[in-house]
Structure 1
């Protein structure tokens, strides 16, 4: 039973990675709360089964945080360990964590996921690295 669940999770992971890998740039912006935009890729991530809008909402919720407010660029990383995860935010890869939040339960099939947040005028855009 456990082996079957792990195989299903691995298959879901590969399918999601394949789907997200096809996004380069974006053709449309999607409003996501006040002052936030999603790209085609991050909207697909949110819509994917299982949904990841919880992660996008978490990222959006930190944008008023003083340390993040002044940044033009942020790197967000989700690292899963079983059914738990940790989400971190850095100013850039290799820099100290500005945010670190434990997630007590997640059903994401992804072991790791990176997302970027870029400032665009008064808006902030959450995007996949391949869309940068």
Structure 2
């Protein structure tokens, strides 16, 4: 079921903590996700995004960074850029996404803190 951007934003705005941690990726160093990220990936059909972030945890320079800020910037032509920085603006990687149907036109920002992927509102 497709959700509108407004419905998704409303649901994500209510996420301020978590009562459960979810393991959704099979990778060895894959982070667990919070309830808020679970809501986001379900409503946005974005398991691919979490898998993408998890796959980069296999790279030593990414994995060794305890705090990471992941930003998906979506463009009008349905392409995007996924960037990771250390929270202080030092970009660790930037990945071009050739196509995405991610439903939020502004994209999304996620934090990865010591193996837990969460929404900024859950931090």
The TM-score with structure 1 as length reference comes to: 0.82
Q: Aligned pair count? A: 117
- Cα distance in 1 for residues equivalent to 2:85 and 2:53: 12
- Cα distance in 2 for residues equivalent to 1:112 and 1:30: 22
Q: 1:62 maps to which residue?
A: 56
Q: Deviations over 1:1-27 (max 9, x none)?
A: xxxxxxxx9x82121111111111101
How far off its partner does 1:57 sit?
0.6
Q: 1:98 maps to which residue?
A: 92
Between Structure 1 and Structure 2, which shows a larger proportion of strand residues? 1
The one of 5, 13, 26 aligned to 1:21: 13
2:37 partner SS: helix
Residue 87 (structure 2) pairs with residue 88 (structure 1): no
- Cα distance in 2 for residues equivalent to 1:109 and 1:65: 28
- Cα distance in 2 for residues equivalent to 1:125 and 1:64: 15
Q: Deviations over 1:105-125 (max 9, x none)?
A: 111121121000011xxxx11
Q: 2:118 maps to which residue?
A: 127
1:77 partner SS: strand
Larger Rg: 1
